[in-house]
């Protein structure tokens, strides 16, 4: 039996440590390395009784790996990844596999894949979702890059990945180049939308219906037993019931209302603009976090700017049910936007993405895991060329039965002065997508008026452009 290690991992933060422990638990010998001596020491303590080792130097790390080498980087995205690659590259040979498991922007992965391909090194950019717990017990893994690397990493990745109820691993090859990191980026963009919608449902229940956190938690727990079943709904129910140890108050009431972000939602929105894809719900979720950061300004503005004083006077129980419908309909539109974006990127980069497989990747282990991803998978299995989820029979029928409640919720929030940017943008997306005619004819006339940008005519073939002398 070889004394060499099957897999190497550089970057022994919590995510890196947990992935290493997961890999070892599934029968593979792992060696880790980190420039930080404190992280190395902590990892050594955690792995003392495991089939693992922590190298003191990069040279030791490389020397103890079997060939072809399989090395995964769990370091901060950006310059740190380039720095580690530059240090490793002289020591890697043709057929060795180098994997970036961080939240890297997909154009960086495309660039590195091309550079390392020229040297014969098999580069993989893989999305890993599920947080610290998922890394340890089974994340969703979205690998892309050099397809020749897949047979070398497939046994390990599919062994450690989360499994669906039927035992399928939430890990399949996504596509060439930056495909894996692109799909992870879109996953995170959808996550932004999901979280914002849930927050808006909470705000409506709190501000319009006068409900307390524990009561709201009961609603989310009930919703989690139906078509809204998902990880984010589940943890929201738990959050609402949690008490602050210091004050005894609901923890949600003592957390400052300013949200952070790491950039993947912004990347998703920027990419949608670059590719000409309407992904306004995801973008509004990003802007909602940006607005939340203006805490001091908002506090001041609240003393100056007025709004509606009307109170909700309807049936609270009935409205909570309408709110459930609104959340589900909005959620569907957010996912529709995400899959539209992936389709546009697939056409641009020729990755040959399999959207049914991507839905499967997200069925377990990841942050946006949800029951209805099975319905998304079924939709693309039925029609792999489906242009929009809203056109699948299942989702068409869901929107048909929920849209009146959805409209009532958005209208009520507007009347009461409650901000619901995700709910309202999702509804605007739906209404725009179902409109055979939009007011862009006037917009194009304006463009032609001041800039001679020309326009197409309804009575001429597409692709013919005309100009009017307006003055």
**Span 48-79, pLDDT tens digits:** 788 899 999 999 999 999 999 999 999 999 99
Q: Where do the CATH 1.10.1040.10 domains begin and end in the chain? A: 185-350+359-434
Average pLDDT over the chain, rounded to an integer? 95
- For residue 261, the model assigns a pLDDT of 76
The per-residue pLDDT for range 331-378, each reduced to its tens digit, is: 999 999 999 999 999 999 999 999 999 999 999 998 998 889 999 999
User: pLDDT band at residue 3, thresholds of 50, 70 and 90?
Assistant: confident
pLDDT mean over 232-256: 97
Is residue 315 predicted with pLDDT exceeding 60?
A: yes
The per-residue pLDDT for range 266-305, each reduced to its tens digit, is: 999 999 999 999 999 999 999 999 999 999 999 999 999 9
**Which of 224, 141, 163, 192 is CA-nearest to residue 364?**
163
**Which of 145, 141, 194, 149 is CA-nearest to residue 171?**
141
Q: Where do the CATH 3.40.50.720 domains begin and end in the chain? A: 7-173
**Which of 315, 266, 316, 312 is CA-nearest to residue 289?**
266
| Percentage of residues in the chain having pLDDT higher than 90 | 92
Is residue 442 predicted with pLDDT exceeding 80?
A: yes
Is residue 262 predicted with pLDDT exceeding 80?
A: no
pLDDT mean over 308-320: 94
Render 123-190 in DSSP notation, one character per residue: EEEEEEESHHHHHHH--EEEEEE-GGGHHHHHHHHHHHS-B-TT--BSB---EETTHHHHHHHHHHHH
pLDDT mean over 378-400: 97
Render 267-306 in DSSP notation, one character per residue: HHHHHHHHHT---HHHHHHHHHHHHHT-HHHHHHHHTT--
pLDDT mean over 456-471: 96
Tell me how far apart the alpha carbons of residues 234 and 239 are, in angstroms, rounded to a whole number.
9
| Percentage of residues in the chain having pLDDT higher than 70 | 100
Return the active site residues.
184, 191
The per-residue pLDDT for range 171-224, each reduced to its tens digit, is: 999 999 999 999 999 999 999 999 999 999 999 999 999 999 999 999 999 999
Tell me which DSSP letter residue 460 carries.
S
Is residue 226 predicted with pLDDT exceeding 80?
A: yes
The per-residue pLDDT for range 76-99, each reduced to its tens digit, is: 999 999 999 999 999 999 999 999
- For residue 122, the model assigns a pLDDT of 98
CATH code of the domain made up of 7-173: 3.40.50.720
User: How much is the pTM?
Assistant: 0.94
Is residue 44 predicted with pLDDT exceeding 90?
A: no
pLDDT mean over 136-151: 96
- For residue 1, the model assigns a pLDDT of 40
- For residue 260, the model assigns a pLDDT of 79
User: pLDDT band at residue 309, thresholds of 50, 70 and 90?
Assistant: confident
- For residue 2, the model assigns a pLDDT of 58
- Between the two ends of the chain, the Cα-to-Cα distance in Å is 86
* Assigned CATH topology for domain 185-350+359-434: 1.10.1040
- For residue 50, the model assigns a pLDDT of 85
Q: Where do the CATH 1.20.5.320 domains begin and end in the chain? A: 439-470
Task: Specify burial of residue 275 (Cβ count, 10 A radius: 0-12, 13-18, 19+).
Answer: middle
Query: What superfamily does domain 439-470 belong to in CATH?
Result: 6-Phosphogluconate Dehydrogenase, domain 3 (1.20.5.320)
């Amino acid at each position: 039996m070889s004394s060499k290690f099957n897999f190497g991992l550089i970057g022994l933060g919590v995510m890196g440590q947990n992935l290493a422990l997961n890999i070892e638990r599934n029968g593979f010998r792992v060696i880790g390395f980190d420039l930080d001596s404190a992280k190395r020491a902590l990892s050594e303590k955690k792995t003392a009784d495991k089939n693992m080792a922590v190298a003191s130097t990069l040279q030791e790390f490389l020397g103890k790996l079997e060939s072809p080498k399989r090395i995964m980087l769990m370091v901060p995205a950006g310059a740190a990844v380039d720095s580690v690659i530059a240090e490793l590259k002289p020591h890697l040979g043709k057929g060795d596999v180098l994997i970036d498991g961080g939240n890297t922007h997909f154009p960086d992965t495309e660039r590195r894949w091309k550079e390392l391909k020229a040297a014969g090194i098999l580069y993989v950019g893989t999305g890993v979702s599920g947080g610290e717990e998922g890394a340890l017990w089974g994340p969703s893994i979205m690998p892309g890059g050099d397809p020749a690397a897949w047979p070398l990493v497939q046994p390990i990745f599919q062994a450690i990945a989360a499994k669906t109820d039927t035992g399928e691993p939430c890990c399949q090859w996504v596509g060439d180049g930056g495909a894996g990191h692109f799909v992870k980026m879109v996953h995170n963009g959808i996550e932004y939308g999901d979280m914002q919608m849930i927050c808006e449902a909470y705000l409506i229940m709190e501000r319009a219906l006068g409900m307390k956190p524990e009561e709201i938690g009961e609603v989310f727990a009930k919703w989690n037993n139906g078509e809204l079943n998902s990880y984010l709904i589940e943890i929201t129910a738990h959050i609402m019931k949690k008490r602050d140890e210091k004050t005894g108050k609901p923890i949600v009431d003592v957390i400052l209302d300013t949200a952070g972000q790491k950039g993947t939602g912004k990347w998703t929105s920027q990419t949608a603009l670059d590719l000409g894809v309407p992904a306004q719900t995801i973008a509004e979720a990003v802007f909602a976090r940006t607005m939340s950061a203006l805490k001091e300004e908002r506090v001041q503005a609240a003393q100056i700017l007025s709004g509606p004083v009307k109170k909700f006077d309807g049936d609270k129980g009935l409205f909570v049910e309408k709110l459930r419908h609104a959340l589900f309909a909005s959620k569907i539109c957010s996912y529709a936007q995400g899959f539209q974006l992936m389709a546009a990127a697939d056409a641009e980069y020729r990755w040959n993405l399999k959207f049914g497989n991507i839905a499967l990747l997200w069925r377990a282990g990841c942050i946006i895991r949800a029951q209805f991803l099975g319905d998304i998978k079924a939709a693309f299995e039925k029609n792999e060329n489906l242009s929009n989820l809203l056109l699948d029979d299942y989702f068409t029928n869901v929107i048909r039965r929920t849209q009146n409640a959805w409209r009532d919720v958005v209208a009520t929030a507007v009347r009461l002065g409650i901000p619901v940017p995700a709910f309202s943008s999702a509804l605007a997306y739906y209404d725009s997508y179902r409109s055979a005619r939009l007011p862009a004819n006037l917009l194009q006339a304006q463009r032609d008026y001041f800039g001679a940008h020309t326009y197409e005519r309804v009575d001429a073939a597409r692709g013919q452009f005309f100009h009017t002398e307006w003055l």
